[in-house]
Amino acid sequence: MKKFRIGIMGAGRGLCIARNFELLGCEIVALCENNPKRAEYGLKEYDFDIPVFADFDEFIEQGLDAVVLANYFHEHAPYAVKCFEKGIHVFSECISNGTMAEGVELIRAFEKSDSIYMLAENYPQMKFNREIKRVCGNGTLGKILYAEGEYNHPANPYDCRFLKEYIYFENHWRNLLPRSYYITHSLAPIMWATGATPKRVSAMATFAPFEDKVTARKVGDRAAIVTTFNDDGSVFRVSGCASFGAHHNAYRVCGTNGQIENIRGMGEKIMLRYSEWAVPDGMEQINCYDPEWHDKDEELIEKSGHGGGDYIVARMFLECISEGRQPEHPYDIHSAVAMASVAILAHRSILNGEAYDVPDFRKEECRKQYEDDRLTPFYGSDGSEPTIPCCSVTDYCPTDEQLGNFRKALEE
C-alpha cells in the first residue's frame, strides 16, 4: 500500500486519530489548528513533530493525499468542500454538515470531484456491533422490522478538567448541542447492521436540567428520543447523545424470526434469541456469548480507541483510497448527509411537534428545498448568532451563579 500523506485538522481528537493512520503506514504531514496552546499540548501528548498551520488554505497546499477533519463538530462541510476542489480525500469526524444548506453544498461539490469521502464513524466497528452486523447478514433473524441504538454518555458535572480541555469557552458548541445532533454513534451502527436508511423522522426530548454548580450549558434536555421510518419499511428508535442513567452503548435489532443485542453493563456480551419455531440448525433458542473479532489485525485493533473502531475505520478509508472506490453504506457521503439530516430535522421535530421527510440530495427537488436553509443552534466562527433554540424549553439558560462559576473555573 502506498505511503499516503495525511493532514490533520484539529489538535485534540485529530491527533488521536492520526496515531491509527501512522500504525497503518501513513506519513502524518501537517496539523491545522488555530489555538496554539491546544496545538502544543496535542503534539506533545501524541509525540508528533510536524508543522502547524492556522490557515486551512495554506495547510492543504502541503502535498496532502487526504485530510482528517476533526475540528469543531458542526463545521466540517466547508473544509470538505475545499478539499474536494483540490482533489484531496476526506475523512470526516461526526456529522458531515451542520446545516441543511451545507448538506446540499457538500453533495454538489463532491459530484464535481474525484475525492474519496468517508464518514469517520467508529461505533459500528466495535466488536459487538460487528457481531450484530454478521448475524443480520446471515439472514437467520428473518425480515428486519425494528432496531434500537442508544449512545448514553453522561459527563461528570464536577470534572473541571473536562471543562478546560473540552468546553474551553462559554459559547463552545458543546454548550449549545441539541440532544439529537450528535446522532451518528447511535444511528450508524444499526444502519450498518441492517442496510436501512431513514426516510422520515420525528422526535421528543426529555427535559431535566443539570444541577451542577459550574456550567454554561444552554441545553437542559437529557436525551432526544428519535424515531425514523426507513426505506426498507423498518423503524428505528435512537437516542442521539443521551445523558440518563449509567453510561452505556446499547444496540438491538429485531426481525420476524429473532433478535440480537449487546447486553447493557455486560461488556461486549451478546444475547441472540430466536422464536421457538424459527431456531436455525446448530443454534440454541437462547444464545448468550462473547463475540470474536474475526479480523487479521486483532492485536492492533485491541490497542485502538473506541473499542477498536478507530483503527478499523482508518483502515477502511485507506483501502477505499488504494482501490479508488467510495466507501459503502453508511460511510459514504449520501448516508452521512442523511444522518446529518436526521439530526437536524429531529431537533426541529422536538421544537414544533412535526415529523419531517429526510431529503435525498441526489434529487434536485430536494436540493432546491434546502439550499438556502442555514438555521443553526450554534454560534458561527465569524461570531454570528444562533438562529434556532438549542433546547426543547426554548427560554432555558444557566443561572448567573452557574455561569460565574464556569468563568472562574476556566481562569483557575
- Tens-digit pLDDT profile for the chain (412 aa)? 579 999 999 998 999 999 999 999 999 999 999 999 999 999 999 999 999 999 999 999 999 999 999 999 999 999 999 999 999 999 999 899 999 999 999 999 999 999 999 999 999 999 999 999 999 999 999 999 999 999 998 877 777 777 777 888 999 999 999 999 999 999 999 999 999 999 999 999 999 998 888 899 999 999 999 999 999 999 999 998 999 988 899 999 999 999 999 999 999 999 999 999 999 999 999 999 999 998 999 988 987 877 789 999 999 999 999 999 999 999 999 999 999 999 999 999 999 999 999 999 999 999 999 999 999 999 998 889 999 999 999 999 999 999 999 999 888 7
What is this structure's pTM? 0.96
Rounded CA gap, 342 and 103, in Å? 12
Rg from Cα positions in the chain: 21
Rounded CA gap, 194 and 254, in Å? 10
The candidate with the shortest Cα–Cα distance to 181, out of 98, 263, 64, 84, is 98
Rounded CA gap, 310 and 139, in Å? 28
The candidate with the shortest Cα–Cα distance to 178, out of 231, 233, 217, 136, is 217
For the chain, counts of helices (H) and of strands (E): 13, 15
By the 8 A CB rule, do 268 and 228 touch?
A: no
The candidate with the shortest Cα–Cα distance to 195, out of 250, 237, 234, is 234
DSSP string covering 68-82: EE-SSTT--HHHHHH
DSSP string covering 72-123: STT--HHHHHHHHHHT-EEEE-S-S-SSHHHHHHHHHHHHT----EEE---G
The candidate with the shortest Cα–Cα distance to 35, out of 177, 166, 176, 216, is 166
The candidate with the shortest Cα–Cα distance to 183, out of 136, 110, 237, 146, is 237
Q: Which residues, at least 6 apart from 136, have a Cβ–Cβ distance to it below 8 Å? A: 144, 193, 194, 253, 255, 260
C-alpha cell recorded at residue 81? 468542500
The candidate with the shortest Cα–Cα distance to 194, out of 235, 153, 165, 154, is 235
Q: Which residues, at least 6 apart from 254, have a Cβ–Cβ distance to it below 8 Å? A: 141, 144, 145, 146, 147
Contacts 24+ apart (CB under 8 A), 357-366: 357/199, 357/200, 358/197, 358/198, 358/199, 358/200, 358/201, 358/228, 359/100, 359/103, 360/334, 361/103, 361/104, 361/107, 361/334, 361/337, 362/107, 362/334
Rounded CA gap, 76 and 120, in Å? 12
Q: Are strands 356-357 and 52-53 parallel, antiparallel or unpaired?
A: unpaired
DSSP string covering 45-73: HHT----EES-HHHHTTS--SEEEE-SST
By the 8 A CB rule, do 183 and 243 touch?
A: no
Rounded CA gap, 66 and 120, in Å? 13
Residues 78-117 as b or e (16 or more Cβ within 10 Å = b): bbbbbbbeeebbbbbbbbbbbbbbbbbbbbebbeebebbb
Rounded CA gap, 340 and 363, in Å? 17
Q: Can you list the domains of the chain with their CATH numbers?
A: 5-122+308-332 (3.40.50.720), 130-297+335-370 (3.30.360.10)
Rounded CA gap, 99 and 217, in Å? 21
By the 8 A CB rule, do 361 and 334 touch?
A: yes
SS3 34: coil
Q: What is the pLDDT of residue 148?
A: 98
Rounded CA gap, 323 and 326, in Å? 9
The candidate with the shortest Cα–Cα distance to 406, out of 213, 218, 265, is 213
Q: What is the pLDDT of residue 1?
A: 57
